[in-house]
Structure 1
Amino acid sequence: MKLELRMPFRPMLVALCLLPLFASPLRAQGIGIEWEIVNRFAPFQALSTTRDGGNVGDRGMAVGLFETYGMADGETVGEWHARFIADHGRMTSPYEAFLRAPLGELHWDPDKAEHRAELLKFVKEEDGDDTYIYARVWAVDEDGERLTTGQCDWNVTFAPWPCAEEVPIKMQLRGATLRVTRGATEAVDYLEPEHLVIVGIGDSYATGEGNPDVPARWKTSDTQSAADQGVKWFTRFWNYHTLPDRRWIDDRCHRSFFSHQSLTALKLASDDPHRFVTFLHYACTGAEIFDGMIAPQYQSWEEEERRYVPYAQVNAAVRELCTGPLRLRPNSAGFANREYHPVTQTELRNITNYYEFHRRPQAKTTLYRDTRLRPDDPFDRNVLRGVRGYYGNAYPWSGLMDCPLARLRVPDYLFLSAGGNDIGFADIVRYFLLPADGLSDLEATLAYPDVCPGVPYQNSDEYSSIRRHCLRSAGGIWPNASDLIQGRYVGGATPFVGGMDQRYTLFFNVLQRRLRVAPGQIVMTQYPDPLRTEAPTSDACDPLTEVERAAVFGAPADVVDALSPWEGVRTAIPSLIGRNWPLNLTQEEAQNVLGQFDDLRAVLAETATARGVDMVCDTRDAFVGYGWWQGEHLNFPNAVLKGAPEWWNARDWDPFPHIGPGQGRAIRTANDSVMVQPHHKTALTAPVHPNLTGHGLIADIVFDHLSASDGPPN
């Protein structure tokens, strides 16, 4: 689809001349001024249309993108989604054309792992003379109705202007004074935009994982040979069209426009004609609190020299929100990089063994987990020092950045999603999807997860392969998910390692200390539940009742089903050992998944609420009625030749269909994940993550929650 960006106004740009400010606006009888910002979303204005960085903030492109992607007044994200498809044929990211061609540069620089100066200008030079936005103004009568006759003299035009026509203006973000006269009447008004700076931090639920800005495009699969190849057809690159080097806004972190954090920011921008939103997105797939959010993140899917994200998310936000130089450690500290500081005792608040929080202990990362959140700690000396050579000795580092308070642009909102990776949610899902028995010890070691569910949620057969695997793990250094949630004893001088309540507490302390946000400015979403079949009766901030935990959907046990939505898992299993494994989620398994994860949600809600964090508990129930077993294209397309009734061609796959209540699922199944992002490194990073419908449901709840308040606390 070719997307045409058109100027809705006269092509001339009119610079808004500033007049002395008035204490209050003046309106003469019979005439007044109305106005609106026509590009209210800063990432659109920070795009450049040429590879050399020219034409940054082009009015036609910036206004056209917001005209195309902005949401209408009172419109839900689902309604916006449906309207976009009706107007354009399919849902697309506003950044797809940039990533496919590319047309120019996005607002994010993936090579430097930072937002571009064109976006940061709205933060670092918020009150600057050259920090402009685009708006339109028009004259109204004393009843607020548009004037339809006569000529108006504006202080921003070089000649009289028809009163019936809007005037396109380029105005300073800090605000400006406007004057209009018609005959003997005059009106003077001060136009003051509301500038919201929103920071997005978190894990794959916050990135938009499973919803790449450039999804896969498949070739036909309606042949017998495709059916004969089975799931392996979907692992062979020649069956889908070549993709560009980048498929997300940030390919490393799988950060997408379709994230609920991004959609909420866009919806807030669309809601008020006088509001301009600068959205800075730092969330990263796979991030844990101590592995990505406050310490550099390890990523197993990157090449060896790129295994660490350059900046912890909090540090990335501090360095970009700081309008001047960062605070430096004294020279006497004796360390190379003085921008990094140790965690303070105020942030720790008597939390001991906090370095044990860093990464879930598992075989692949045990050597990398000893962070003390300070420069030159064991993590830095043993691991990061060797990584820095790839980045020119600039990053990554252990420790926390700090900005002098007077120079920090405190965000108005900090959107947050955290905790799922800390307890190994992907491992828990893997535990229940794979067969519980019949595997040799070698197969179990290769296939089963490193972190098992807590004992109450494990397979009840104590002689099963998976139970034996978990018992072996428990005898070593690997905690189970319940240990990670509630804390565990490890022996020694400080024998207790705290659970998720301590992780969240320390994390909230760091956010308040480093970003200066009040607890009420931290807007934290509860993880939604894609398993239940019935609406809940309990308060959304409370744990589910036993009856609510039991109301889940489950597939038949021990059935090898070529039509299963989870067959995609088989693409990552060697066929010689996994050909006959049943891949499904039974009702009992679904109850155990739900029970384990609800334990985390209870700790999250309790800890956040106690600290005064703005906890949006209602997102817990956002997906009820949109279960993973619902909707079209559950099976792989070539399964039709084996009896499936639905579809033949992989090329018919629509990654972003509009789904109404009761019409389909709000999460990606394993099959969905393979279809939308086929690559051996990414094909199975998206199961059980929201699709666009799911992110829209979350965004609507968060928006309604914020709209019910009086705005961000000071």
Structure 2
Amino acid sequence: MAEPRIVWQVENPFRFFLDPADTEVHRATWASLSEAERRSPVLAAERLLSERHPDGWSATMFAKTCWDPVKNRYACREKGDYLNPKSHTILARMQGLDDAQTVDCTWLTSPQSRGPRGKAVTLPCDTPVQLEIPYPGGAWISVEIGGRQVAEVAARVVDLFIVGMGDSFASGEGNPDVPVRFSPDRAADYDAKLIGYPARIGDWRDIGDKPFIEENARWQDQACHRSLYSHQLRAALQLAIEDPHRAVTYVGVACSGAETVFGLFLRYKGHEWVPNPPVLSQFSAIAEAQCGSRPAPDYDLPEAYHMNEKVPELKGGLVLKKCDAERARKIDLILLSIGGNDIGFARLVANAVLADTSTLRSLGGWFGHVHGLAEARGLLDVLDDRLKSVNRALHNILHVPWSESDRIVLTGYPPMALQEDGRSVCPDGRDGMNVLPDFALSEAKAREGAAAADRLNAIMLESARQHQWSFVDSYRTAFQGRGICASFSDAPWSMADEMRLPRRINGQWEPYNPADWRAYAQRQRWFRTPNDAFMTGNFHVSQSLLQNVLKAQGLSWVQLLLASIYSGAFHPTAEGQAAMADAVAAKARSVLVKYDSRRRAARGDAAGLLRSADR
């Protein structure tokens, strides 16, 4: 007969979610997975959740988190100790107790270190109990029946501090928490030729007026296009829910458009125009989080990070926040995605999809420059120095021990246009790109972009080895055949894999009604096409901003450009982000196991010394 025993789990292991029920949705989904599905648990869960939540699971969760969108910082009134927890609520229950339904259990807690005993709680023995466990010391939990102790266990929560930093591939760009919704009947005309486009729901009169803008897609961080679909957040969430005795404190600051200089080191205001853009660089924002409720001092660092003037933007005038080492919370994992914008990711994409005769190309692509492999090579040559500067700051500003550099997990970039054979790229064509007549993929230029991406990945891998970081790109093979041109082939037609943008022609929608679009449906392609981005993010700016800031009065096609390219085109879908999260979580587990083994060994050695001293 089994002995009575106490089993327990953290009630809300992903502390970023304010509502434990939101975390439980993910934990229950993970628990329901088969053994085969658990080999890729985040991807399997994403597919299950997308079936249950046609508009995306994040829509009901993203506003109930410990992110303050007004102050642009991690905090929540409901959890004053979010960044530095003092305790955790756990759920405990009895197992192996006969007649549990008919007897009462008295639950007692006493801290393993200093502190008062918890209040005794008496409940029927078959009823789970909520208990508050001090952190980091933990507590002894005992159960008595009729004054006699029947079970005891030591409960100590492992709370991981996980940080996410980087660019649009880390922020979740292309996957808003609340995607835009379309009218089943109304169509939108952008000019005399660009007519019959899907139109948003809402009581708006003109594209870009106030009621129209109020229906923009919603993001956890609107300026940075950061959402709960970020692979960094999904990896942290997975690590939280798979261990009943673990909690995760998550701080993610990745921002669409960020690069090493403007983003990590220097302030970057984000991808979307908002009234309250980010104030701090990513390094400073993380340092502020490490200090919790205490201020992080500013440090003037004019000579520390320009690497002998190889990164000239960081010479002179560099001021970063830094939490003093004795006060800073130790970071368990830093998840990092950076480098793509440093070599001109958007410029390479513009080169691949804009014809030489395109008006957009003559205007500089999407409000920037257009360049190919030759121009990218020069930027690739200096990327190593930029990553050296990042490495120095991760250790000196964020206090990652030099001997524990593998806690820094650098993620490579998935192939955007690689076919299933792993060699060929998407062919010439306009599939997925008919939102604007200027868009057409060039196979030759896509191949140039793929070559630049391969070189980028090689530099990132070598830098990770040089700095002893962990490096993740094992998911790249899974992306083959799932790029921007992937669609149904022999399978029956499905709206999810349809590449064409719906248009209203002669009073009828073709090839489908835009109101039926589901942004998070399972599909073959794991990259958003410009058409997908229009149907999902559909970012527009106000009429005044279009006229006064962009100087684009009368250029209505600019709104179409924003609604596609600036809405996450050429970025991974939620499924793609989930596949990346699985690879990141796998690497993170190996790092955590390594340091947990060392911690246990050190604790065992200390206990042995105490026993020897007692003799």
TM-score by length of 2: 0.78
The Cα of 1:189 is off from its aligned counterpart by 2.0
Shift of 1:234: 4.8
1:412, distance to aligned residue in structure 2 (A): 0.5
Q: Distance in 1 between matches of 2:216 and 2:358?
A: 41
Question: Are the aligned partners of 1:521 and 1:712 in contact in 2 as well (CA < 8 Å)?
Answer: no
Letter in 1 for 2:143: V
1:665 aligns with 2:532: no
Are 1:318 and 1:514, in contact at CA under 8 Å, matched by a contact in 2? yes
CA distance in 2, matches of 1:36, 1:322: 28
Residue number among 612, 615, 638 corresponding to 2:503 in the alignment? 638
Residue in 2 that maps onto 1:395: none
Q: Residue 43 of structure 1: SS of its match in structure 2? A: coil
Number of the residue aligned with 1:83? 48
SS of aligned partner of 2:249: strand
Match of 1:520 among 406, 419, 424: 406
Deviations 1:264-300 (A, max 9, x none): 1111111101111111111111101000111111557
Cα 1:523–1:639 change in 2 (3 A) is farther
Change (3 A) 1:698 1:224: closer
Give the C-alpha shift of residue 340 in structure 1. Answer: 2.9
- Root-mean-square deviation over aligned CA pairs: 3.4
Query: 1:65 aligned to 16, 22, 25, which one?
Result: 22
**Distance in structure 1 (CA, Å) of the matches to 2:383 and 2:410:** 15
Alignment length (residue pairs): 535
- Contact 1:528-1:623 within 8 A present in 2 as well: yes
Q: Which amino acid aligns with 1:420?
A: G
Q: 2:15 aligns with which of 42, 51, 56?
A: 42
Q: Which amino acid aligns with 1:114?
A: R
Counterpart in the other structure of 1:687: 569
Q: How does 1:160-559 map to 2 (within 5 A)?
A: 160-174=122-136, 175-182=138-145, 184-221=148-185, 230=194, 233-234=197-198, 243=214, 247-299=218-270, 301-302=272-273, 309-323=278-292, 325=294, 328=297, 339-342=298-301, 345=304, 347=305, 350-355=307-312, 358=313, 371-372=314-315, 374=316, 377=317, 398-437=318-357, 444-447=362-365, 449-455=368-374, 480-486=375-381, 499-517=382-400, 518-534=404-420, 536=422, 548=423, 551-556=424-429
- From the superposition, tell whether residues 120 and 503 of structure 1 become closer, same or farther in structure 2 (CA, over 3 Å): farther
Contact 1:428 / 1:593 at 8 angstroms: preserved in 2?
A: yes
- Counterpart of 1:452, as a letter, is H
Aligned 8 A contact 2:216 2:537 in 1:
no
CA contact (8 A) 1:216 1:243 kept: no
2:75–2:82: 8 Å Cα contact kept in structure 1? no
Structure 1 residues 412 and 223: alpha-carbon distance in aligned structure 2, compared to 1, 3 A threshold: closer
Q: Alpha carbons of 1:567 and 1:160: their partners in 2 closer, same or farther (altered >3 Å)?
A: same
Tell me the secondary structure at the aligned position of residue 687 of structure 1: coil
Closer, same or farther in 2 for the Cα pair 1:66/1:299, shift >3 Å?
closer
| Residues 241/133 of structure 1: CA separation in 2 closer, same or farther (3 Å cut) | farther
Q: Determine whether 1:648 maps to 2:512.
A: yes
Residue identity over aligned pairs, in percent, reads 26
Compute the displacement of 1:503 (Å): 0.5
Task: Indicate yes or no: 2:466 matched with 1:610.
Answer: yes
CA contact (8 A) 1:120 1:320 kept: no
Decide whether aligned partners of structure 1 residues 658 and 32 sit closer, same or farther in structure 2, where only a CA change above 3 A counts. same
| Aligned equivalents of 1:438, 1:689: Cα separation in 2 | 23
| Mapped partners of 1:312, 1:529: distance in 2 | 28
Q: Structure 1 residues 617 and 125 mapped into 2: Cα distance closer, same or farther (>3 Å)?
A: closer
Give the Cα–Cα distance (whole angstroms) in 2 for the partners of residues 712 and 322 of structure 1: 26
Q: Show the 5 A alignment for 1:146-157.
A: 150-155=103-108
SS at match of 2:30: coil
Q: Is the 8 A contact 1:198 1:279 kept in 2?
A: yes
Residues 215, 677 of structure 1: 8 Å contact kept? yes
Residue 318 of structure 1 aligns with an amino acid whose one-letter code is A
- 3-state SS, counterpart of residue 711 of structure 1: helix
C-alpha distance in 2 between matches for 1:119 and 1:614: 35
Q: Distance in 2 between matches of 1:452 and 1:194?
A: 48
Kindly provide the amino acid, as one letter, of the partner of residue 106 in structure 2. D
Distance apart, 1:628 and its partner CA: 1.7
Per-residue CA deviation, residues 599-618 of structure 1 (Å, 9 max, x unaligned), is 11111111111110111121
Q: Distance in 2 between matches of 1:97 and 1:405?
A: 32
Q: Does 1:114 align with 2:114?
A: no
Q: Unaligned 5+ residue runs, structure 2?
A: 109-117, 488-496, 542-561, 600-615
Could you tell me how far apart the structure 1 residues matched to 2:410 and 2:300 are? 26
